[in-house]
Amino acid sequence: MEALLTNLGLGFGVALSLQNLFYCFMGVVLGTLIGVLPGIGPVATIAMLLPVTFTLNPTSALIMLAGIYYGAQYGGSTTSILINLPGESSSVVTCLDGYQMARQGRAGPALGIAAIGSFFAGCVSTVIIALFAPPLAEVALKFGPAEYFSLMVLGLIAATVLAHGSLIKAIAMVILGLLLGLVGTDVNSGVARFSFGVSELSDGIGFVSVAMGVFGFAEIINNLEQKEQREVFTKKVTGLLPTWQDIRDSAPSILRGTALGSFLGILPGGGALLASFAAYTLEKKVSKNSANFGKGAIQGVAAPESANNAGAQTSFIPLLTLGIPSNPVMALMIGAMMIQGIAPGPQVMTERPQLFWGMIASMWIGNLMLVILNLPLIGMWIKLLTVPYRMLYPAILLFCGVGVYSLSNSPFDVMQTAAFGVVGYIWVKLECEPAPLILGFILGPLMEENLRRAMLLSRGDATVFFQRPISLTMLLIAAFLLLIVVAPVVRKKREEAFVEA
């Protein structure tokens, strides 16, 4: 306990420095902004900003990028509630009851409870990270290559199980991602693989290009294909403070949402999106009058909004302790760490305590800023929603273009990103989820490396993965996950859960 307090003290010392406060603020403002705006998500934004973080020191860079992710969870609810369009994919379920509340003239309390729930969840999950990350990192330090390989298998399987749509397509996308990740020079032999003699490709396909092409460009094209319909139902929000009755109604939901979200965020493949869906379903199950859901039940706003914020934050745990990303945003955070020359993994906590604890402390500060940004300043964000999309996407494209170009000051990266835009569009049309691909892409080289090492150490004996207890456990969990999804009963439920939402 004492160690925890010393560590948090150190963290707040770092996070409260003027510079870090500024970048935290920038992060949460940007996060709220892109959260409010439909059609651009944290993945594309963080990808866009990665080149900018070159010039910052690592702690400030990560504090800002983290702020974008959890900030987007706050902003996303605003759009969901006011115009029935998810500003962020993790706010999809908030539309159901949030928009209904707005129609009944209760947009204020809906926004208020979303912010209060998010803030509560943010505080709790900050403490959870501080409590659980150190012991996990300790365990992770004992991991050998076999354990790491199995852990990655588990992470990737979990990511596919939790992706919506067809399981087999998701697995295929993971493998395709792993393969694309292998493009470039092989560290062991020095051979440039799959580069077709193109010198730019011998460094590998740029991660930013893939992420931005698939999540940024493809998104924009899809948005343009659908005719724009946006109606701000509530032009002026009054009475943001929920009544006592509202708070009493939603307090248990906030607690449940926070608990569930924190748990699901830690799981590989988890994060804000899954957390919000699960929380809504749970709330509907436990509620005494579940008929109210979809008709403006405040619990239907409180639970998923708390859960997505909790999940967004606790998904940093696997990143900070194991160096394994659990969702595309975390994959980008790994990219940001590597740009700064930090190898993600359990040693980050011991070798760079300022970075580790500074980032955790900044989350709490960031949450406080977000409440202020989102409640009194809500009018500003509503104004933003009246900006038509046709004015927005050229701006987004410009920022993307400048971002990719400045990665290595070459038009090749821009071309590559545009190519992934085309591919990303095709994937969307074929119902192939890109999120598992991104995870595979970042894990490809790591997985190969650990597989090689494990096999070398065991002298070619593949049973090593089953002989080591931790590795075996993880593989068993992975197999179990696959089995339960394939089982007809669960399969039906899973489809329902995604369709319903």
Partner 1 sequence: MKITNGKDFWAGAMFIAFGLAFMLISQNYAMGNAVRMGPAYFPTVLGGMLAVLGAAIFLRAFVSKVAHPLAVFPFRLWFVVGGLILGVIAFYTQPLRDAGAMAQIAHELLAGLAIGLLFAAFGPRSLWVILFSVVLFGYLLKPLGLVLATGALIFGSAWGGHEFKVKEVTILFVALAIFAVYAFVKGLGLPMNIWPAFLD
Residues forming the site for partner 1 (CB under 8 A): 51-52, 55, 166, 168-169, 171-172, 175-176, 178-179, 182, 186, 188-189, 191, 193-194, 217, 220-221, 224-225, 227-228, 390-391, 393-395, 397-398, 400-402, 404-406, 409, 411, 413-415, 417-419, 421-422, 425-426, 429-432, 447-448, 451-452, 455-456, 459-460, 462
Q: Please name which of 93, 488, 156 lies closest in space to residue 308, comparing C-alpha atoms.
A: 93
CA-derived radius of gyration, the chain: 22
> How open is the CA angle 339-436-405, to the nearest 5 degrees?
40
Compare residues 10 and 485 and give the one whose CB is closer to partner 1: 485
Closer of 85 and 182 to partner 1 (Cβ): 182
Strand partners, 192: 185
Beta carbon nearer to partner 1, 431 or 500: 431
- Least distance between partner 1 and beta carbon 53 (Å): 10
Rounded-to-integer distance, Cα 6 and Cα 109, Å: 38
Nearest distance, CB of residue 222 and partner 1, angstroms: 9
Nearer to partner 1, 198 or 483 (CB): 198
C-alpha span between 307 and 303 (Å, rounded): 6
Query: Least separation, in Å, of the C-beta of 381 and partner 1?
Result: 20
For partner 1, the closer of residues 4 and 462 by Cβ is: 462
Sign of the C-alpha dihedral, residues 210, 211, 216, 218? positive
Task: Tell me the closest approach of the beta carbon of residue 497 to partner 1, in angstroms.
Answer: 18
Query: Shortest approach of partner 1 to residue 181 CB, angstroms?
Result: 10
Minimum distance of partner 1 from residue 195's CB (angstroms): 10
Distances (CA, A) of 440 to 2, 179, 474: 39, 8, 18
By C-beta, is 208 or 307 nearer to partner 1? 208
Fill in the DSSP letter of residue 236: S
Q: Are strands 184-185 and 192-193 parallel, antiparallel or unpaired?
A: antiparallel
Interior angle at CA 301, CA 298 and CA 302, nearest 5? 85
Task: Specify the 3-state DSSP secondary structure of 193.
Answer: strand
Residue in 11, 138, 119, 150 with CA at minimum distance from that of residue 368: 119
What angle in degrees, to the nearest 10, is found between the helix axes of 328-339 and 434-457?
Answer: 60
CB of 136 vs partner 1, minimal distance in Å: 28
- Closer by beta carbon to partner 1, 170 or else 279: 170
To partner 1, the closest distance from the beta carbon of 157 in angstroms equals 13
Cβ 220 to partner 1, closest distance in Å? 7
Q: Are 137 and 349 in contact (CB under 8 A)?
A: yes
Name the region of 235 (left: φ>0; alpha: ψ -120 to 50; beta: rest).
Answer: alpha
CB closer to partner 1, 285 vs 390: 390
CB nearer to partner 1: give 351 or 431.
Answer: 431
Please report how many Cα atoms fall inside a 13 Å half-sphere around the Cα of residue 116, on the Cβ side: 23
Q: For the beta carbon of residue 491, count every other beta carbon within 10 angstroms.
A: 13
